[in-house]
């Protein structure tokens, strides 16, 4: 199946099915914001990785969360940072968020892929994406061994 192309967070996904997704930030000029991580720089600028049983509903919740601080946990955190942190406001006066997703057959498959994507991210960068507040199945050895 593979991942969709990156889309503006305001563009519909046309996917009302289970999916795993990634969200990233672009700066005022439209360039991907690379993120300094513990073990290196994430040039893809992944803010969070998630899974859902309905991609379009999740996308809409994310948009509402960024705008109003409601519904989606990672979007609530972004809302707090963009409304309360002067440095973010100075650096990203007009932040642009993008998402990419991969449609899967079941919610359980989406959850398994999310866990593995986060574990792979941690193995590469030494920490979870900045807005993933929890590391799913963090003490489960499966997926950590190369």
What is the tens place of the pLDDT at every residue in 36-86? Answer: 999 999 999 999 999 999 999 999 999 999 999 888 788 888 888 988 889
Domain hosting residue 13, numbered range? 7-125
The domain total for the chain is: 1
The CB density around residue 58, as the number of other CB atoms within 10 Å, is 22
Inside any domain, residue 145: no
pTM of the predicted model, to two decimals? Answer: 0.89
Inside any domain, residue 142: no
C-alpha angle 38/146/103, rounded to 5°?
85
Inside any domain, residue 2: no
- Model confidence at 102: pLDDT above 80: yes
Tell me the per-residue pLDDT of 87-99, one tens digit each, with 9 for 90 and over. 988 888 888 999 9
Inside any domain, residue 134: no
């Amino acid at each position: 199946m593979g991942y969709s192309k990156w889309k503006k967070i305001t563009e519909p996904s046309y996917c009302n099915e289970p999916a795993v997704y990634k969200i990233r930030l672009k700066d005022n000029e439209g360039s991907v914001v690379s993120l300094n991580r513990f073990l290196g720089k994430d040039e893809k600028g992944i803010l969070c990785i998630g899974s859902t049983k309905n991609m379009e509903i999740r996308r809409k919740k994310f948009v509402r969360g960024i705008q109003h601080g409601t519904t989606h946990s990672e979007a609530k955190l972004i809302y707090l940072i963009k409304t309360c942190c002067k440095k973010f406001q100075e650096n990203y006066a007009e932040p642009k968020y993008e998402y990419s997703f991969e449609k899967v057959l079941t919610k359980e498959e989406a959850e398994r892929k999310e866990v593995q994507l986060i574990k792979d991210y941690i193995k590469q960068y030494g920490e979870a994406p900045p807005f993933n507040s929890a590391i799913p199945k963090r003490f489960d050895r499966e997926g950590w061994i190369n």
